Chain A
Amino acid sequence: MSIAMPVPDSATLAKRERIARALRAIVPGEGVIDAPEALTPWESDGLTAYRQPPLLVVLPETTAQVSAVLAWCHAEGVKVVPRGAGTSLSGGALPLADAVLLGLGKFKRVLDIDYEDRVAVVQPGVTNLAITQAVEGRGFYYAPDPSSQIACTIGGNVAENSGGVHCLKYGLTTNNVLGVEIVMMDGEIVRLGGRHLDPGGLDLLGVVVGSEGLLGVVTEVTVRILPRPETARAVLVGFPDAEQAGACVAQVIAEGIIPAGMEMMDRPAIHAAEAFVQVGYPLDVGALLIVEVDGPAAECDFLIGEIARIANANGAVTSRVSDGEAERMAFWAGRKAAFPAVGRISPDYLCMDGTIPRRRLPDVLRRMEELSEEYGLRVANVFHAGDGNLHPLILYDANVPGELDKAEAFGADILRLCVAVGGVLTGEHGVGIEKRDLMPEMFSEADLKQQQRVKCAFDPELLLNPGKVFPVLHRCAELGRMHVHHGALPHPELPRF
């Protein structure tokens, strides 16, 4: 709770009524929300430990309105925080007391689908899953599948460069977006990319994707859609310890297999998940792998056989292949419920999101066990094993004095460890406010300055989503984490990770 946001500008606070009037002139009717009690639902995103009612909320319906709102705010020096569905786990859409919260929730239309060229053009408020739903009747889907896909929007996915369990094979958002229309802070509308591949000139689209709402407001997105694979199968493999499971993962990839998904859980995570959803996970193993393959049935059969062979060679003690779609989904159910499951066995936990080179996994897990003993706090690990993205869950009790501080210190040590072994601070949740102050752990001042200069090329007055991504002050590193209090997940209805 110690991440500081910029001090609100008193002049902006003082002209709040005038701002509301001006924005109402641009977005009439219910498009501006400024009654204090009506602002409460907007005061947080998925990082619910941090709450701040916005100055006011504006909900435009057209690109022209977005442009007019931004142009007016730019002229008046008023800050703006863009927001999609508000499911960010890193505080990317956290409001500011002196900033207009610009919600894109009314941009809900699928504008065009071209099956022949396999692209869909959608508005930013369309949910990730709704894109797939719009095209699945013709046998297509949109590949990136963040676990919050029933709620998160494509505009937010573009801002965060969202991934999903299938991103090792199918890529992140950035690999699946062909073009965007954005409105810059001064109100100018620009189109980057389009329906064709590899436009010339600088790849501005590439830097806008994953820019966490700091460079522009996305008002239209063109995505690739893919033909749905013929079938998918999963295999559940248990190992005595994580080292053997890690060796199995490495050998699967070294033998030329890129599974559609490859997830690992350690013993505490397996036990928590099994107690929660009873899907038949083996309880006497030290690590569990879920490996999914997709494609033609002949390919799935062949690959499942290969994976079983490699697993056995690496000391697998249990192995089960999904028999039918229901069982495949059951294999995933435990994994997808890992977070709420851990929430049941501990009053609180912090979720980390680092990526490491996979070969360092045994070292990292060993060091994490040592830290666990030093801090006297338990840790459960779930892991996107194919791409090295770790989600250690640090269990603690906020009601025990000092335990949150200990958990935060533990988390900071884990992230430092990830960077020290050649990894990164965040594999998929974004920097937001959560890891903002940790950026100097990974980047030198020169590196960060170069990134900030790109920000300046888009938004020289730094009015768009200030206080995010870049450390405002050089302070001790904060933690990469998701705060969960008494098992209460933000958006508890959504599967996570």
Chain B
Amino acid sequence: MLEPRDEADLAEIVADAAASGRKLELRGGGTKAAFGAPREAELVSLAGLTGVVDYDPAELVLTVRAGTLLSDVQALVAGEGQMLAFEPWGAAGATIGGTMAAGVAGSRRITAGSARDHLLGLTAVSGRGEVFVAGAKVVKNVTGYDLPKLMAGSWGRIGAMAELTLKVLPAPREVVTLAARGLAPAAAHVAMACALGSNAEVSAAAALADGTVLLRVAGFAPSVAARCAALLGLMAGHGAVERMDTAEAALMWQRAMTGAGLAGSVRWDVHLPARAAAALIAALPEGAEWAMDWGGGRVWVCGEAEDDAVRQMAAGLGGEARLIAAPDAMRARIAAFHPRAKGVAALEARVRRAFDPGGVFVTGRFAEDADADAICA
């Protein structure tokens, strides 16, 4: 494993690999290494690039090196009463760079935006081994192409981020969870849509297979009290709604946000129009387990079936499914990402080549790597 100490090292490593035709897999904490097809590639660990470069809470901007632990970043901003509003989560050891490269966003995503919405700027090394900067270190900027958006969720396929500038926001002073019980998936979606469509400013909404619907109300105390009172009235027709104990709520949100506790060796992350979630769930095979987040816009599905039936269902409902975890043989056979339409796949391949003409980051982890070779040959 190659372990650059700084941006210059990193650039040298990539340039050298590009020149000699080697393949590199970028790695943060390695917590998502099982995502994508099994492959053989030389690893480059970014875990050595750590530390805070600049943080001024009143500016709402944090600049940090890519290998800094996500948990350290979260503790740092929490110490100033702030948060990463996209609610990233990960296993112990997850880095901020890896979290951003994977586009990880939690329950608050539905109202606060995703990882990509909070990446303001970056310094990265392209597949040419060139250092480039994109975006900026201020919250409002439209100068040049928004390359940080491309980098968020790119899974290390277009460049190696060395330094990230993130937008941070004040953390709410008070967070209350209201819960309804006994709602089947269709009723749960209607209840969540009702709450999210109200002006009670629900910041997150999720539903579990035991019939629990979770609504999160966050902000300043007088506002939270007023909005909870309004929601109790508004939700009267959607089962008994009551305030949930904080400890229980934390556990329930964790299950909805991460799919934790769902049994099965095959795990799908389905993103679809929220109104289609109940239909997806109704069509799942016997024994499959699920949890809904984002008001129904995300459904975790776990089971044992080693086929792509879930993906086909998601596509039929206007959504898509990514394969998060599965036995090796299945991951070798079924692509991690939902296949893109032909024109989009070709465009993606050309954009990847714009950053990485020699394919130094093409490791076989993703099926579209093969497409890129075919399209750009």
Contacts and interface: CB of A to CB of B under 8 A. Distances in A.
A324 to B, nearest CB: 19
B173 A197 contact: no
A174 B274 contact: no
B109 interface: yes
Contacts of B56: 357, 359
Contacts of B17: none
A424 B142 CA distance: 8
B197 to A, nearest CB: 6
B150 A202 contact: yes
Nearest to B105: A198
Contacts of B350: 457-458
Interface stretch (B132-140, B242-250, B257-265): B132-140
A446 interface: yes
A384 B130 contact: no
A160 B142 contact: yes
Interface in B65-118: 81, 103, 105, 109-110, 113-114, 116-117
Interface string A272-307: 000000000000000000000001111101110000
Contact of A450 (B57, B130, B318): B130
B85 to A, nearest CB: 10
B222 A171 contact: no
B81 A256 contact: yes
A109 interface: no
B193 A117 contact: yes
A72 interface: no
A30 interface: no
Interface stretch (A48-56, A95-103, A246-254, A364-372): A246-254
A98 to B, nearest CB: 25
A447 B134 contact: yes
A296 B150 contact: no
A268 interface: no
Given A258-B170, A296-B230, A454-B351, A358 B58 contact: yes
B282 to A, nearest CB: 17
B139 to A, nearest CB: 5
A202 B158 contact: yes
Interface stretch (A57-65, A224-232, A314-322): A224-232
A195 B273 contact: yes
B288 interface: no
A29 interface: no
Contacts of B347: 184, 190, 204, 457-458
B132 A446 contact: yes
B144 interface: yes
Interface string A107-131: 0000000111110000000000000
B354 interface: yes
Give the interface size class of chain B: 35 or more
B60 interface: yes
Interface in B316-367: 318-320, 322, 336-338, 340-341, 343-344, 347-348, 350-355
Given A196-B320, A197-B110, A447-B133, A229 B354 contact: no
A419 B46 CA distance: 29
A298 B139 contact: no
A387 interface: yes
B301 interface: no
A389 B140 contact: yes
B142 A428 contact: yes
A375 interface: no
B196 interface: yes
Nearest to B80: A254
B173 A210 contact: no
B153 A198 contact: yes
B74 to A, nearest CB: 17
Given A190-B347, A201-B368, A357 B353 contact: no
Interface stretch (B21-29, B198-206, B208-216): B198-206
Contact of A388 (B126, B140, B146, B171): B140
A451 interface: yes
Given A190-B344, A253-B57, 20 more contacts: A118-B196, A200-B336, A201-B368, A202-B157, A204-B348, A206-B149, A207-B149, A229-B201, A253-B60, A303-B220, A355-B140, A359-B56, A359-B59, A422-B137, A427-B142, A443-B144, A451-B134, A453-B354, A457-B351, A457-B354
Interface of A: 114-118, 139-140, 160-161, 163, 167-168, 171-172, 174-175, 184, 188-192, 194-207, 209-211, 227-230, 250-251, 253-258, 295-299, 301-303, 355-359, 384, 387-389, 422-431, 435, 439, 442-444, 446-448, 450-451, 453-458, 469
9 smallest beta-carbon distances between A and B, as pairs: A206-B149, A299-B223, A256-B170, A298-B226, A457-B350, A453-B354, A200-B337, A387-B140, A250-B58
24 contacts: A139-B197, A190-B343, A190-B344, A195-B273, A200-B337, A201-B340, A202-B158, A209-B146, A227-B197, A250-B58, A256-B81, A298-B225, A358-B58, A422-B138, A425-B143, A428-B140, A439-B144, A442-B144, A450-B132, A450-B355, A455-B145, A457-B351, A458-B347, A469-B144
